[in-house]
Structure 1
Amino acid sequence: MPNRLAQATSPYLLQHADNPVDWWPWSPEAFEEARRRDVPVFLSVGYSACHWCHVMAHESFEDQTTADYLNEHFVSVKVDREERPDVDAVYMEAVQAATGQGGWPMSVFLTPDAEPFYFGTYFPPAPRHGMPSFLQVLQGVHQAWAERREEVTEVAGKIVRDLAGRELSFGDAQVPGEQELAQALLGLTREYDPQRGGFGGAPKFPPSMVIEFLLRHHARTGSEGALQMAQDTCERMARGGIYDQLGGGFARYSVDRDWVVPHFEKMLYDNALLCRVYAHLWRSTGSELARRVALETADFMVRELRTPEGGFASALDADSDDGTGRHAEGAYYVWTPAQLREVLGEDDAQLAARYFGVTEEGTFEHGASVLQLPQQDEVFDAGRIESIKKRLLAARAERPAPGRDDKVVTAWNGLAIAALAETGAYFDRPDLVEAAVAAADLLVRLHMDELARIARTSKDGRVGAHAGVLEDYADAAEGFLALASVTGEGVWLEFAGLLLDHVLARFTDSESGALYDTAADAERLIRRPQDPTDNAAPSGWTAAAGALLSYAAHTGSEPHRTAAERALGVVKALGPRVPRFIGWGLAVAEAVLDGPREVAVVGPALDDKATAALHRTALLGSAPGAVVAVGTPESDEFPLLDGRPLVDGEPAAYVCRNFTCDAPTTDADRLRVALGAGAH
């Protein structure tokens, strides 16, 4: 019989709807039930593409004995971290403070007042490697609650007080200057892996936001070192197993330093960010590899993550059926030499093995290899390789596919909208721009209410119950602003403004300028979460700074510009010390130092050939954070177009900073030089 999760919109919660555990969703009623029964709350946080979440579910949450003990002695609450990032952030901070590490599944025991007192992540079903079994943990917590209640509540109170003392405020600090950005670049150089690309050791995550900073820094200063780190990292990732060499798109991270073996889940946010990174790398260098990867990643998102409603699903699982009924990580993606021969025949299988680095020993598990493009001297027949890829992709499509988390997350869709809009514009792919518009339409139509407050998620056309957090407002605004520049439709600028008004009114501390992850009127947790550092995607704090800055450049709004600059005080403080973890903030700081430039393109019509040429040139400009408006001289959709006439009856482009403009030009080549448009 299904439990209370059967009505959830989260695919992760629905995966647990048939557990014998009497799960509750996060709700006031769950904690009221714990008070009524005088028992602790067991909080389990995970997400649908999490491998160890599935393992613990199969081992413990589907086990009747474990479930019976949980049901008797606890109120069990299940949370999808992607649906409730605020809940996840607050308790993950407590877990990391208490244990020195974190991860998912996250297992936390709370008082009925939601105060945490015991922490962990994955617990095995039997004692293993010095870890107690999950049932032993439950028994120990129950005993402590029953016999040492005063001690438990004292620990919980101390943890909450410690968390409350961690509030951040960098609002008095100034925008980072040349010195801080140079120190950040030096710090990145120290942590850079010159042999393999990327930063630090294993596991290696795609440093998307850092690469955006490096590309912007190169565009503004000409730093060849910054460009080299960005180029080499992008090439190593694109040639590695972390990139799907057959279907496009990136896996979550590499378990090794060489980008060979990925953790196979594919997340929307990673692919949106990396699609944009490779498109921007192409914009700066003209790299054919960057062009191919940007387009293949965009096509992957549209083909495999697009939902019937026009949004983009959150993730594809790492695990899938290996053909024997057993779920195994990477089963959908890896190949043995025998499997290559079965699909391709002997000669083409040998060629494919050399091209993709498939060996008899294997680079993964059980003699299987992850496809990659190892550096080698052999020159391959491009037509034959293309035929091999098509046949392997068709054969792979016959395998049991990984599960898909169909939840549409506002923030990640905002990132996808920006990536698809720009990639479509750069490479003359109107279908990609149309996909971006459809996703933006869904956010406005379904996720946004009449007051322009935005919901965090939807699924199957049904909006979720949870309020959007700062990253939802900021990333959706970022997507809308990119769409406005690409399409010339000012309505997207208006929608961005509505969202950013909420950022100013409900997420910003009016005295310090500090930002919070949740709105002032959101559900009160044990602490109001606040984190300016990047994780897998830009933090809400720095994403908001970027969107506020772009909106101010479009409109001349002083409050938005001031809010962006105050928010960047945190980058001045953290950028020189931990540049890997505040890459997007550094990228936004580059835009502030460059202006950012405001480009107005005016012509008799948007489809006029000369107007389109100037518009495309403006979009291809690599000046950091430049904003582009396009329209007719009579248009009132963009403030940047106001008072911008044609020049001698010809379409013209005006390049301005802080609404002070250079002489207009009708020549695309001159505009290209004015905007530092790389190889184009």
Structure 2
Amino acid sequence: MLQPKNLLQEEGSPYLRQHGDNPVHWRPWSSAALAEAVRLDRPILLSVGYAACHWCHVMAHESFENDEVAEVMNRLFVNIKVDREERPDIDQIYMAALASMGEQGGWPLTMFLTPDAKPFWGGTYFPREPRYGRPGFIQVLNAVDAAWRGKRASILQSATELSRHVGQRLGNTAPAGEISPQALETLAQGINGMIDRELGGLRGAPKFPNAPFMQTLWLSWLKSGDQDRRGAVIKSLEHMLSGGIYDHVGGGLARYSTDAHWLVPHFEKMLYDNAQLIRQLNWAYATTGKDLFRIRIEDIVDWLLREMRLPMGTFASSLDADSEGEEGLFYTWTRTGIETVLGDDSPSFFKYFTITKPQSWEGDPIIHQTSGQAEKSVEDRQVVAGLTSRLLVEREKRIRPGRDDKALTDWNGLLITALAETGRSLGRRDWIDVGAKAFSAIVASAENGRLPHSSLGDKRLYPALSSDYAAMINAAVALFEATGDGSYVNHASSFLDALDSWHADTDKTGYFLTASDSADVPLRIRGDVDEAIPSATSQIIEAMVRLASAAGDIEMQERAWSVAAHAAGRIQSQQFGQAGIVNACALALEPSKLIVIEDPARPTLVSVPNRNPDPRRVDIFLPLGGDASQAKLPGNELPDMKKAGAYLCTGLICLPVITDTSKLEEALRRR
């Protein structure tokens, strides 16, 4: 029997620990907490958030730290707190329930559940006192309690119907759909029509980086040659990188801007945003040659190594938006503050940067750049770096925002992939080594052959989600491409085995997000819906396609096609929320691989694919006289290992062997 006290202090989530001193009798999500609700016959108050969430902090300070509010919560409800990053499966279920009620989603998510965990009412942030057109939180608590006592039968019926609806929406099975180039083209047309032609990103505010949408446009350009799609991505990246959403002093992108100009961010920095940005900047630099993209990659990686790397070599999840109780305080500057640090060099700084304080922003001014300043700062890179480094030294003396030190396996997998790919493109072997160390640390954390989803010191949360295995397969293939070490392919195969063992559906046409032995989930969902990162299903399809190419496994390629086709069948009416699956289906439609064979002591061809990254292609580099079994061509044919050359294949069709670097460059760019 659980004790009537707060049980969060020893959890492996910094977000949960932040609430460990609340007078609320919080429980972590668990079978024991759910059983307590049944035993007491009380509704569950479920609160979902994450460590870097500004409004989560506001609600915690106003309500969860308040004795009067806590007394009502403790008397009427079983109170469960969830870190959405630890338990995206739980978060997605109840966020979908809120959406089905016709409510706007967001965090903190506040949901009221029946004792058997079925949702019946909810919202997001509630103030302690009535304001913003919202009722006060104690009013909400008492109203929910009164409804539960007076209308219990109807609440139970509607909760059962809502749960059934959510289950069908998130965990449904559908016949295989058609995988065709038209799906990508239709989605790209729709997204392209929503692009802000002046400022990049989607029109309006707030503005999110939206990596899955940017990838749709990029894949569409690669397929069709439509320069408008390419231009939309390039413009979006340029505006993000010059706006206040980018940290011009320390590097790294904030989660989103509250305005349409990329100026005023919510200042939290998320690992996943920056991992995906690095990868897309790499593509943009390769096709444009613009040094702005290369410089920002370098600065983001420097920030990650300086502020986000954990002792074991993995990376922390996020940095908070707030410090000293104020959002953005750590990152913003007054003109006087800049002049105090830079002295006579201050006019030089303002030649490259602008500081702005919009009326809607209560803090100090925000550093950003005009397009002209961004171009000039690239030309005068060393001067600018000298100025910002002095501000960075001064900024390090401030009280830092909180860091969420849990290492999430899937988010780390995204970053490892980005480091391996950009390390190849920019000739940074040290970045590849950083990615390899993070990969090894995650592999070493496995227990009985199964990865954790989250690690915080010696505390680990098992079992992994399907997204964890998928991200690690993609990371393994990227490291194989970067190093030529075949052991990474073996690791990837073992991760796919774990997916098959614990996450596959009964007819082997897809996967569930949670493992089959996860005892505390009210229902198993597919993981088809994108969030700020591509959905678990889309990552699985990409992983299977890429691993099949790396291993030369036709049977695996056919399995990937089946998973993609059934995913396509499930999403026919919701593609904007499931762009990741459309993108992954495009990879399954035309898998591409390049095998390069040459003398490692005198390489010439290898530099060509390194500087021409393509998300559709897997690259395999082998030495002359090497093991031909590692270089299977379609139809199980093997290349001539005695002669230097490059073999470029799309699907089952390969070009004649290419031995000239200029011809290989032409073939890759034409492809």
TM-score normalised per structure 2: 0.92
- Where do 1:305-320 residues align within 5 Å? 305-320=308-323
Q: What is the letter of the counterpart of residue 176 of structure 1?
A: S
Out of 632, 635, 646, the position equivalent to 1:653 is: 646
Aligned to 2:336: 338
- Where do 1:207-356 residues align within 5 Å? 207-321=210-324, 327-345=325-343, 347-356=344-353
Q: CA deviation at 1:274?
A: 0.3
The answer to whether the 8 Å contact 2:7/2:28 transfers is yes
The superposition leaves residues 14-69 of structure 1 with CA deviations (integer Å, 9 ceiling, x where unpaired) of: 11111111111111211222222222221111110111111111111111122122
Out of 586, 593, 596, the position equivalent to 1:598 is: 593
**How many angstroms apart in 1 are the aligned matches of 2:599 and 2:518?**
47
**How many angstroms apart in 2 are the aligned matches of 1:471 and 1:431?**
27
The answer to whether the 8 Å contact 1:411/1:475 transfers is yes
The answer to whether the 8 Å contact 2:43/2:77 transfers is yes
* Residue 533 (str. 1) matches residue 529 (str. 2): yes
The answer to whether the 8 Å contact 1:2/1:18 transfers is no
List gaps (5 residues or longer) in structure 2.
Answer: none
Q: Secondary structure at the match of 1:609?
A: coil
- Where do 1:15-414 residues align within 5 Å? 15-166=18-169, 167-177=171-181, 179-321=182-324, 327-345=325-343, 347-359=344-356, 365-366=361-362, 368-376=364-372, 382=380, 383-414=382-413
Aligned to 1:445: 444
Q: CA deviation at 1:362?
A: 5.1
**How many angstroms apart in 1 are the aligned matches of 2:392 and 2:306?**
13
The superposition leaves residues 124-153 of structure 1 with CA deviations (integer Å, 9 ceiling, x where unpaired) of: 111113322111122222233334332332
Aligned to 1:324: none
**How many angstroms apart in 2 are the aligned matches of 1:637 and 1:55?**
58
**How many angstroms apart in 1 are the aligned matches of 2:648 and 2:421?**
20
- With 532-541 and 211-220 compared, the bigger mean Cα shift is at 211-220
- With 301-310 and 512-521 compared, the bigger mean Cα shift is at 512-521
- Where do 1:452-467 residues align within 5 Å? 453-460=450-457, 462-467=458-463
Q: What is the letter of the counterpart of residue 467 of structure 2?
A: E
List gaps (5 residues or longer) in structure 1.
Answer: 322-326
Q: Secondary structure at the match of 2:423?
A: helix
**How many angstroms apart in 2 are the aligned matches of 1:160 and 1:391?**
55
The superposition leaves residues 145-167 of structure 1 with CA deviations (integer Å, 9 ceiling, x where unpaired) of: 33433233223222222223324
Out of 637, 640, 657, the position equivalent to 2:632 is: 640
**How many angstroms apart in 1 are the aligned matches of 2:617 and 2:218?**
13
**How many angstroms apart in 1 are the aligned matches of 2:629 and 2:306?**
33
**How many angstroms apart in 1 are the aligned matches of 2:652 and 2:534?**
28
The answer to whether the 8 Å contact 2:334/2:364 transfers is yes
Task: Say if 1:437 and 1:111 are closer, same or farther in 2 by CA, change over 3 A.
Answer: same
Q: Secondary structure at the match of 1:443?
A: helix
The answer to whether the 8 Å contact 2:111/2:122 transfers is yes
Task: Say if 1:115 and 1:144 are closer, same or farther in 2 by CA, change over 3 A.
Answer: same
- With 389-398 and 664-673 compared, the bigger mean Cα shift is at 664-673
**How many angstroms apart in 2 are the aligned matches of 1:367 and 1:355?**
22
Q: CA deviation at 1:624?
A: 4.6
Q: What is the letter of the counterpart of residue 402 of structure 1?
A: P
Task: Say if 1:576 and 1:164 are closer, same or farther in 2 by CA, change over 3 A.
Answer: closer
**How many angstroms apart in 2 are the aligned matches of 1:181 and 1:163?**
27
The superposition leaves residues 556-596 of structure 1 with CA deviations (integer Å, 9 ceiling, x where unpaired) of: 33443233223334775698976654443343344344x32
Q: Secondary structure at the match of 1:252?
A: strand
* Residue 585 (str. 1) matches residue 581 (str. 2): yes
The answer to whether the 8 Å contact 1:171/1:567 transfers is no
Q: CA deviation at 1:637?
A: 7.8
The answer to whether the 8 Å contact 2:332/2:363 transfers is no
The answer to whether the 8 Å contact 1:172/1:512 transfers is no
**How many angstroms apart in 1 are the aligned matches of 2:569 and 2:365?**
44
Q: CA deviation at 1:366?
A: 4.2
Aligned to 2:602: 609
The answer to whether the 8 Å contact 2:178/2:569 transfers is no
The answer to whether the 8 Å contact 2:477/2:550 transfers is no
- With 133-142 and 262-271 compared, the bigger mean Cα shift is at 133-142
Q: Secondary structure at the match of 2:669?
A: coil
**How many angstroms apart in 2 are the aligned matches of 1:368 and 1:669?**
52
* Residue 417 (str. 1) matches residue 416 (str. 2): yes
Q: CA deviation at 1:667?
A: 2.8
Q: Secondary structure at the match of 2:455?
A: strand
In the alignment of these two chains, the number of paired residues is: 660
Task: Say if 1:31 and 1:533 are closer, same or farther in 2 by CA, change over 3 A.
Answer: closer
Out of 532, 543, 548, the position equivalent to 1:547 is: 543
* Residue 666 (str. 1) matches residue 666 (str. 2): no
The superposition leaves residues 632-660 of structure 1 with CA deviations (integer Å, 9 ceiling, x where unpaired) of: 33337835388434444xx3322233465
The answer to whether the 8 Å contact 2:648/2:654 transfers is yes
Task: Say if 1:498 and 1:653 are closer, same or farther in 2 by CA, change over 3 A.
Answer: same
Q: What is the letter of the counterpart of residue 616 of structure 1?
A: S
Task: Say if 1:170 and 1:150 are closer, same or farther in 2 by CA, change over 3 A.
Answer: closer
Q: Secondary structure at the match of 2:366?
A: coil
The superposition leaves residues 381-421 of structure 1 with CA deviations (integer Å, 9 ceiling, x where unpaired) of: 82543332122121111111111000000100000000011
The superposition leaves residues 296-354 of structure 1 with CA deviations (integer Å, 9 ceiling, x where unpaired) of: 21222222111001101000000012xxxxx1111111111121221122x53344335
- With 61-70 and 568-577 compared, the bigger mean Cα shift is at 568-577
**How many angstroms apart in 1 are the aligned matches of 2:156 and 2:234?**
53
**How many angstroms apart in 2 are the aligned matches of 1:246 and 1:379?**
16
Task: Say if 1:362 and 1:137 are closer, same or farther in 2 by CA, change over 3 A.
Answer: closer
**How many angstroms apart in 2 are the aligned matches of 1:570 and 1:203?**
34
The answer to whether the 8 Å contact 1:174/1:572 transfers is yes
Q: Secondary structure at the match of 1:458?
A: strand
The superposition leaves residues 205-253 of structure 1 with CA deviations (integer Å, 9 ceiling, x where unpaired) of: 1022222233333233322111111111111111111111111110001
- With 113-122 and 617-626 compared, the bigger mean Cα shift is at 617-626
Task: Say if 1:597 and 1:349 are closer, same or farther in 2 by CA, change over 3 A.
Answer: same
Q: What is the letter of the counterpart of residue 665 of structure 1?
A: I
**How many angstroms apart in 2 are the aligned matches of 1:214 and 1:147?**
52
The answer to whether the 8 Å contact 2:544/2:557 transfers is yes
Q: Secondary structure at the match of 1:7?
A: coil
Q: Secondary structure at the match of 2:176?
A: coil
Q: Secondary structure at the match of 2:116?
A: coil
Q: What is the letter of the counterpart of residue 424 of structure 1?
A: G
The answer to whether the 8 Å contact 1:553/1:598 transfers is yes
**How many angstroms apart in 1 are the aligned matches of 2:516 and 2:264?**
43
Q: What is the letter of the counterpart of residue 514 of structure 2?
A: T
RMSD of aligned C-alpha atoms? 2.6
Q: CA deviation at 1:184?
A: 2.0
Q: What is the letter of the counterpart of residue 625 of structure 1?
A: R
The superposition leaves residues 58-111 of structure 1 with CA deviations (integer Å, 9 ceiling, x where unpaired) of: 111111122122222221111111001111111111111114211111111222
**How many angstroms apart in 2 are the aligned matches of 1:524 and 1:262?**
36
**How many angstroms apart in 1 are the aligned matches of 2:295 and 2:463?**
37
Q: Secondary structure at the match of 1:66?
A: helix
The superposition leaves residues 494-545 of structure 1 with CA deviations (integer Å, 9 ceiling, x where unpaired) of: 1111212333444343548244222333335333223423210010011111
